[in-house]
Structure 1
Amino acid sequence: MANPILVTGGTGTLGGHVLPLLREAGRTVRVLSRNPRESSDRGVEYVGCDLLGGEGIDAALDGVETVLHLAGGPKGDDVATRNLVDAASRAGVKHLVYISVIGADTVPLGYFQAKLGAERAIAESGIPWTTLRAAQFHDLLLTMAEKMAKMPVIPVPGGIRFQPVDSREVAARLVELTLGEPAGLVADLAGPKVYGMGDVNRTYLQARGKHRLMMPVRVPGKAGRAYRAGDNLSLNNPVVGTRTWEDFLVEKVEKVEKVA
């Protein structure tokens, strides 16, 4: 039997799509979790670990040759990844796959800089590696639009654009890369269309049958200039998904209406 694949962040949105795909491919999976749980699938094991604190990583990597690193947060990704890389080196891991974000090397915000730090830790580890940079997920844009729709007037940052991609398409690509040979930094994965922030809010409001005033605002500083320059986009030969933001919205709104 093949060694288990260790998946960090396996309980998140992306992990929820990745795990069944790995199981369909016949692989056993070990999932890092701060709160271990029992699994109804004998091919999936949840183990306790704190990547940021460095606790439990060595035990989780016992017998593992491939790691799919999905775990991430608003800050600390570089620190958590360095802890994982150090333990993976000790364990003799043969392939480390990482999901990063388009703009990691161009957008001057802490989240992107931490992602770049994580990329560098992996690339300099001596472990054969693969890194995929993806655009923001539809799920993130939905969360943003839902929060903004609660305001009586929605601020719309001028010049900020997104190229959102479906998380299921990212999961499928990651599983393909995980089961393949180490490939270094591969082509970006982005969605099929580019949207301004106003477009995102407007289409969400229309889908939910809501109306709000929208007010243009300007994002100052280096971050504003980077977004206006499209540094968070991948327009030159990325791998492009097929599901649009509109497709995703139709599905989500239908689910909400059925529950209601």
Structure 2
Amino acid sequence: MLVTGASGTLGSAVVPRLQKQGYAVRPMTRSARAGWVTADLRTGDGLAEAVRGVDVIVHLASAPGRPQKTDVEGTRRLMAAARNAGVGHVLYVSIVGIDRVPYPYYRAKLDTEKVVEGSGVPHTIVRATQFHQFAEMLLSALSKPGPVIIDPSWQVQPLDVEDLAEEIAELIGRPAAGKAIEYGGPQVLTFDDLARSWLAARGRKRPIWRLGIPGKVSRALRAGALTTSATPTGSRTWRDYLAEKY
């Protein structure tokens, strides 16, 4: 089993989870690393060798800063190599709401889904909600001026990476779904909820400035475009994450 993006936030949870369940995992990296296969989605170098003899590919690699080259074109190269090698199932991890939020990276992820769907390779697309780590990273960025500046009505559904890793391990044991499946965290929270609990967990008393942030992306977030009603969901909450970290 090949895992792209194996060194990332999700990959670091997926690889040991799959190994624990007895899968022979082949982690993929662009830089030489002992015990890993070296291949580059951006150029195609090493992909044919990486997929040779593989039954399943868990495709996690992504580059938000250059999604056209890595996500869209890189996935096209990967799927062509998978088709040539007779790979039986590609599981691609995407993001809930990419069809509802007008954000360039999300448009690229939607284009990448279309590459997977049109590849002729049996596939499952898993659209996940935002990770706890991403929510905290965004809060940190919004608090750089001093106060935490948020749109209090933005809605998110924080998901634990270990919960998603477990779901991925379940899905690769089933036949390819041939469609997108959504998977989210256990709770939908506003950014007001996130900010207050984050500051409390860290023992910080920074002020929260609540603003109605304009724009199409902001409106989509207020409308819950990054959330899903799909079940099952993950089990570890945002407060669980904060309690363990702080």
8 Å Cα contact 1:89/1:125 also seen in 2: yes
State the AA in 2 paired with 1:59: E
- Following the alignment from structure 1 to structure 2, what is the Cα–Cα distance between the partners of residues 205 and 148? 13
State the one-letter code of the partner of 1:27. Answer: Y
Q: Structure 1, residues 205-241: CA drift from partner, whole Å, max 9, x if none?
A: 1011101112122332221222222111113x33211
Q: 1:28 aligns with which of 24, 29, 50?
A: 24
1:52, distance to aligned residue in structure 2 (A): 1.9
Report how far residue 8 of structure 1 moved.
Answer: 0.2
Report what 1:97 is aligned to.
Answer: 91
Q: CA deviation at 1:184?
A: 2.2
Q: Contact 2:155–2:191 (CA<8 Å) still a contact in 1? A: yes
1:134 aligns with 2:128: yes
Mapped to 2, the partners of 1:10 and 1:164 lie a distance apart of: 21
The CA distance in 2 between the partners of 1:86 and 1:47, in whole Å, is 18
Gaps of 5+ in 2: none
Q: Distance in 1 between matches of 2:137 and 2:73?
A: 26
Name 1:241's counterpart in structure 2. Answer: 234
- The aligned runs of 1:212-251 (5 Å cut-off) are 212-235=206-229, 237-251=230-244
Tell me the equivalent position of 2:105: 111
Residue 225 and residue 149 in structure 1: after superposition, are their counterparts in 2 closer, same or farther (change >3 A)? closer
How far apart are residue 68 of structure 1 and its match? 0.4
Match of 1:208 among 185, 196, 202: 202
Q: What SS is found at the alignment partner of 2:61? A: coil
CA contact (8 A) 1:187 1:238 kept: no
What is the identity, as a one-letter code, of the residue corresponding to 1:152? G
Residue 6 of structure 1: aligned partner: 2
Quote the offset at 1:135 in angstroms.
0.4
**3-state secondary structure, aligned to 2:18:** helix
**How far does residue 158 in structure 1 lie from its aligned partner after superposition?**
4.1
Contact kept in structure 2, 1:100 and 1:134, CA below 8 Å:
yes
Q: Deviations over 1:151-172 (max 9, x none)?
A: 3122112431100111100000
**Paired AA for residue 238 in structure 2:** W
Q: Percent identity?
A: 38
Aligned to 1:13, what secondary structure does the other structure show?
A: coil
Deviation at 1:16, TM superposition (A): 1.3
Over the aligned positions, Cα root-mean-square deviation in angstroms equals 1.5
1:179 corresponds, among 160, 166, 173, to: 173
Find the aligned partners of 2:209 and 2:171 in 1 and give their Cα distance: 42
Map of 2:46 onto structure 1: 56
Alpha-carbon distance in 1 for matches of 2:196, 2:189: 11
Q: Which AA in structure 1 matches 2:25?
A: V
Residue range with higher mean Cα deviation, 180-189 or 159-168? 180-189
Is the CA contact 1:149–1:205 (under 8 Å) kept in the aligned structure 2? no
Provide, for residues 166-216 of structure 1, a one-character-per-residue CA deviation record: whole Å limited to 9, x for no partner.
110000001111122111235411111111112212111101110111212
Measured in 2, the distance between the counterparts of 1:186 and 1:147 equals 31
Q: Say which SS state the counterpart of residue 204 (structure 2) adopts.
A: coil
Secondary structure in 1 matching 2:36: strand
* Residues 55-64 or 139-148, more deviating: 139-148
